Structure 1
Amino acid sequence: MSTDTFDQKWLTDLKTTLTYEFEAQTARLTELTADTGDPAEAHTNAALIAATRQSLAQITDALRRMSSGSYGDCEKCGTAIPRERLEILPQARFCVPCQQKQNG
């Protein structure tokens, strides 16, 4: 399913939302990586930094797929990912059956 299969307004709104989320996560990462000098926060911050970086990577990948026209296609089997799944998880790369196989 190429991006032209989706309602263009929905896709534009989703891209705007993902772009906003990317900016928010980037600001959060900047804040988290500021050294507070508190060793008690180091472990917690490391986990938050890792989660934020993963979120940024997923958002970046979703925006790349939108630009290339492959957004909404399962990266494993090539079938269309249902819009309902993408509304809940906009960065989804796999359809539900392939995601379940991926998770084991």
Structure 2
Amino acid sequence: MSIDHRAVDRSWLADLRASLADDFATQTARLRELTELSADTGDPSEAHHQAALLSATRRNIEQITGALGRISDGTYGACQKCGKSIPAERLEVLPHARFCVPCQEKHNR
């Protein structure tokens, strides 16, 4: 089953937008906490762990922001590489997906 990105159910998109906005707020709060807690403990493994958490949180925020932008501009659900519809199952699991599976596999190489 694929989503026709031109005729997506508006209530589903509204729910998705609200969910992504909540995720954005959560990730932003997490980033703020991680930034405030970034005091140097002298433990290299702790510093590495902290840096990894900061990086992952920033990446999550970027992905959420991108999905919200695609919803706003009407391109949500369309593969950014080939333009085909991204399957609904993929978007349910990965709501910030930018590519269909074949294009994602090519992008990862």
Where on the TM-score scale, by shorter chain, does this alignment land: which range? over 0.9
Is 1:99 the counterpart of 2:101? The answer is no
1:14 aligned counterpart, secondary structure: helix
TM-score (normalizing by structure 1): 0.92
Q: Which residue of 1 aligns with 2:33?
A: 31
Q: Between the two proteins, what is the percent identity of the paired residues?
A: 54
Q: Which has the higher helix share?
A: 1
Question: Which among 64, 73, 90 is matched to residue 68 of structure 1?
Answer: 73
Of residues 32, 57, 61, the one that matches 2:62 is 57
TM-score (norm. length: structure 2): 0.88
Q: Which runs of 5+ in 2 are unaligned?
A: none
> Over aligned residue pairs, what C-alpha RMSD do you find?
1.2
Greater mean deviation of Cα atoms: 9-18 or 33-42: 33-42
- SS across alignment from 1:31: helix
Give aligned pairs, total: 103
Task: State the alpha-carbon separation in 2 of the partners of residues 50 and 68 from structure 1.
Answer: 27
